Amino acid sequence: MNTIRLVFLLTILVSSSFPVGAQSPERIFYHSFRPEGWNIYLSRDEGQTFSAFTRHPALDYDAVISPDGQWVVFTSERDGHPSLYIKDIEGKALARRLIRSESMQDQVAISPDGQWLVFVSTHQGNADIYRLPFRPDTTLSIRQAENLTRHPGGDFRPAFSPNGARIAFSSDRSHGISSHPVFPFARLRTGDIFVMDTLGNHLARLTDSERWDGSPRWSANGEKIIFYSERSGMASLFEMREDGTEQSRLFPFENSAVSPSILPNGDIAFTSWDSNSGGEMDYNSKHFTLMRYSPTSHRIDTLYHAELDMFSIRSHPKGHMVFHGGVKPPVRDYNRDTFFTGELLTAPPYSTTLKGENLEFYGIRRDAIAAPDPLGPHLAYGVLKAKSIPDAITVWTYLLWLFPAFVLGLFLMGLVRGIKDRKIVPFWRYGMFLVLAPAVGAILWGVFIFLFVNQGLPIITIRIIFALVFLVCTLIAVRFHLQRKKRKRESNVYLNKLYTFLFGGAAVITVYVVIFLNSFLDFRIDFLKVNYQTKELTHLFTFHKEPHVNPVNTQIIESKFSPDGQRLIFTSTNFGSNAKRQGDVWAYNFTAEQLTKLSNSNYNDGFGALSADGQKSVFRSGRTGSFDIYLQEGEAITNLTEDPHRDNFPAISARGDKIVYASDKEGGGSERKTMDLYLLELEEEDRWSEPRQLTSVKGQEAHPSFSPDGEWIIYATEMFGISDEQPLIQPYVFAPQMYGEVVAMHLRSGETIRLTHNKWEDGAPLWLEGY
* DSSP symbol at 685: G
Task: With beta carbons less than 8 A apart as the criterion, state whether 614 and 655 touch.
Answer: no
Q: Is 323 helix (H, G, I), strand (E, B) or coil?
A: strand
Residue 282 pLDDT exceeds 50: no
CB neighbour class for 660 (10 Å; exposed up to 12, middle 13-18, buried from 19): buried
Q: How far is CA 326 from the centre of its chain?
A: 21
Q: How far is CA 734 from the centre of its chain?
A: 4
**More confident: 82 or 667:** 82
Closest CA to 418 of 495, 484, 488, 505: 495
> 183 Cβ partners below 8 Å, 6+ apart?
576, 736, 737
- Per-residue pLDDT tens for 351-375? 888 878 889 999 998 866 789 999 9
**Per-residue confidence (pLDDT) for residue 110, from 0 to 100:** 98
pLDDT band for 10, please (50, 70, 90 cuts): very low
**Per-residue confidence (pLDDT) for residue 343, from 0 to 100:** 84
* DSSP symbol at 544: -
Closest CA to 164 of 112, 109, 222: 112
Residue 525 pLDDT exceeds 60: yes
CA angle at residue 657 from 653 to 663, to 5 degrees?
70
- Per-residue pLDDT tens for 451-479? 877 777 888 889 999 999 999 999 999 99
- How far CA 513 is from CA of 212, 372, 436, 451, 505, in Å, comes to 48, 41, 21, 12, 12
**Per-residue confidence (pLDDT) for residue 278, from 0 to 100:** 42
Q: Strand pairing partners for 744? A: 714, 753
pLDDT band for 167, please (50, 70, 90 cuts): very high
**Per-residue confidence (pLDDT) for residue 736, from 0 to 100:** 56
E-assigned strand segments in 415-550: 525-531, 537-543
pLDDT band for 491, please (50, 70, 90 cuts): low
CA angle at residue 306 from 332 to 156, to 5 degrees?
80
- CA–CA separation, 768 and 708 (whole Å): 6
Backbone φ and ψ for 167, nearest 5 degrees, come out as: -130, 125
**Per-residue confidence (pLDDT) for residue 16, from 0 to 100:** 39
- CA–CA separation, 646 and 660 (whole Å): 14
Mean pLDDT, to the nearest integer, of 682-697? Answer: 91
pLDDT band for 421, please (50, 70, 90 cuts): confident
**More confident: 396 or 291:** 291
Strand order in the sheet with 658-663: 647-652, 658-663, 676-681, 692-693
pLDDT band for 738, please (50, 70, 90 cuts): low
pLDDT > 90 fraction of the chain, expressed in percent and rounded: 63
Mean pLDDT, to the nearest integer, of 608-623? Answer: 94
What angle in degrees, to the nearest 10, is found between the helix axes of 493-516 and 459-486? Answer: 160
> 444 Cβ partners below 8 Å, 6+ apart?
403, 469, 506, 509, 510
- Per-residue pLDDT tens for 178-212? 877 777 677 888 999 999 999 999 999 999 999 99
pLDDT band for 2, please (50, 70, 90 cuts): very low
**Per-residue confidence (pLDDT) for residue 731, from 0 to 100:** 67
CB neighbour class for 353 (10 Å; exposed up to 12, middle 13-18, buried from 19): exposed
* DSSP symbol at 406: H
Backbone φ and ψ for 469, nearest 5 degrees, come out as: -60, -40
Say if strands 178-179 and 187-188 run parallel, antiparallel, or are unpaired: antiparallel
**More confident: 92 or 599:** 599
**Per-residue confidence (pLDDT) for residue 691, from 0 to 100:** 95
Closest CA to 109 of 80, 85, 74, 144: 74
**Per-residue confidence (pLDDT) for residue 530, from 0 to 100:** 93
pTM of the complete model: 0.88
pLDDT > 70 fraction of the chain, expressed in percent and rounded: 92
Residue 236 pLDDT exceeds 80: yes
Mean pLDDT, to the nearest integer, of 158-162? Answer: 98
Residue 653 pLDDT exceeds 70: yes
- How far CA 751 is from CA of 2, 26, 126, 550, 763, in Å, comes to 56, 20, 18, 45, 20
Residue 106 pLDDT exceeds 90: yes
> 334 Cβ partners below 8 Å, 6+ apart?
344, 528, 530, 535, 537
* DSSP symbol at 483: H
Q: Which sign does the torsion angle of CA 717, 720, 726, 730 carry? A: negative
Residue 50 pLDDT exceeds 80: yes
pLDDT band for 290, please (50, 70, 90 cuts): very high
Least confident of 139-153, 321-335, 412-426, 721-735: 721-735
- Per-residue pLDDT tens for 629-641? 999 998 899 999 9
Residue 505 pLDDT exceeds 60: yes
Mean pLDDT, to the nearest integer, of 542-566? Answer: 90
Q: Is 103 helix (H, G, I), strand (E, B) or coil?
A: coil
- CA–CA separation, 438 and 86 (whole Å): 67
Q: How far is CA 51 from the centre of its chain?
A: 31
**Per-residue confidence (pLDDT) for residue 730, from 0 to 100:** 75
- CA–CA separation, 195 and 211 (whole Å): 19
In this structure, the number of other CB atoms found within 10 A of the CB of residue 352 comes to: 17
Q: What is the mean pLDDT of the chain?
A: 88
List b or e across 626-644, with b for residues whose CB sees 16 or more CB atoms inside 10 angstroms.
Answer: bbbbbbbeeeebeebbeee
Residue 341 pLDDT exceeds 80: no
* DSSP symbol at 70: S
- CA–CA separation, 212 and 322 (whole Å): 26
Q: How far is CA 461 from the centre of its chain?
A: 32
pLDDT band for 285, please (50, 70, 90 cuts): low
